[in-house]
Amino acid sequence: IGTGGSDVDRNLLLYDLSRLGPNMTPTTVLSQSNAPLKKQYRCVSIFPDKSGYAIGSIEGRVAIWYIDPSQQSKNFAFKCHRDKDLKSICSVNAISFHPKFHTLSTAGGDGKWNFWDKDSKQRLKATNAILCGQNRPLPITCSGFNNTGELFAYGVSYDWSMGAENNPKCKNYVLIHNATESETKPRRSLNSSRRR
């Protein structure tokens, strides 16, 4: 997937990476569409089964989007990385999928990361912000699971969303969390339990 970089240019290009041209560049565009979110997006991650993708934006939203037109009724967006008390909306800087359970993580400019079950539309785990200096949150700029899903690594660093003049000049960190099954395994949907 290739993305545009502004609120105006929000095109998503879906490439077939099995057909690479010279210099290992993608040549076959499978589809082109407008991004499902209104504001500039920061990250895109393909579902492990390649049936769709999750896209995060500067407006603190994530869209879950399916590629197959017959699956479009499953598309949705949700709010995250927002602080109601501080009235702040932070960007979603990273999205990654668990390799075994296909749940996802989001990491944001609010210094927090969360685990989500996209199928039941539930948050599985929420964390407290990582603070720097004057109790300001230090953004998480990247994250990902290892190949077994037992470890979740994330990078803490300034993301430049507040400009150079507001850089807190804190140390950068790479932190590792032991991702337990109880935090990452999907939960049964509340709707499916009511149907029985």
Q: Kindly write down the DSSP assignment for every residue of 58-71, as one continuous string.
A: TTSEEEEEESSGGG
Burial label, 112 (beta-carbon count in 10 A; 0-12, 13-18, 19+)? buried
Average predicted confidence (pLDDT) for the chain: 84
Q: How far apart are CA 149 and CA 114, in angstroms?
A: 15
Q: How far apart are CA 51 and CA 17, in angstroms?
A: 14
Q: Are 120 and 190 in contact (CB under 8 A)?
A: yes
pTM of the model: 0.84
Q: How far apart are CA 89 and CA 195, in angstroms?
A: 36
Tokens of 161: 């969303």
| Residue 30's pLDDT band (cuts 50, 70, 90) | confident
Amino acid identity of residue 158, one-letter, is Y
pLDDT, tens digit (0-9, with 9 covering 90-100), for 91-130: 999 999 999 999 999 999 899 999 999 999 999 999 998 8
Q: How far apart are CA 171 and CA 18, in angstroms?
A: 40
Q: How far apart are CA 154 and CA 140, in angstroms?
A: 7
Tokens 């993580």 label which residue?
Answer: 105
* pLDDT at residue 196 greater than cutoff 50: no
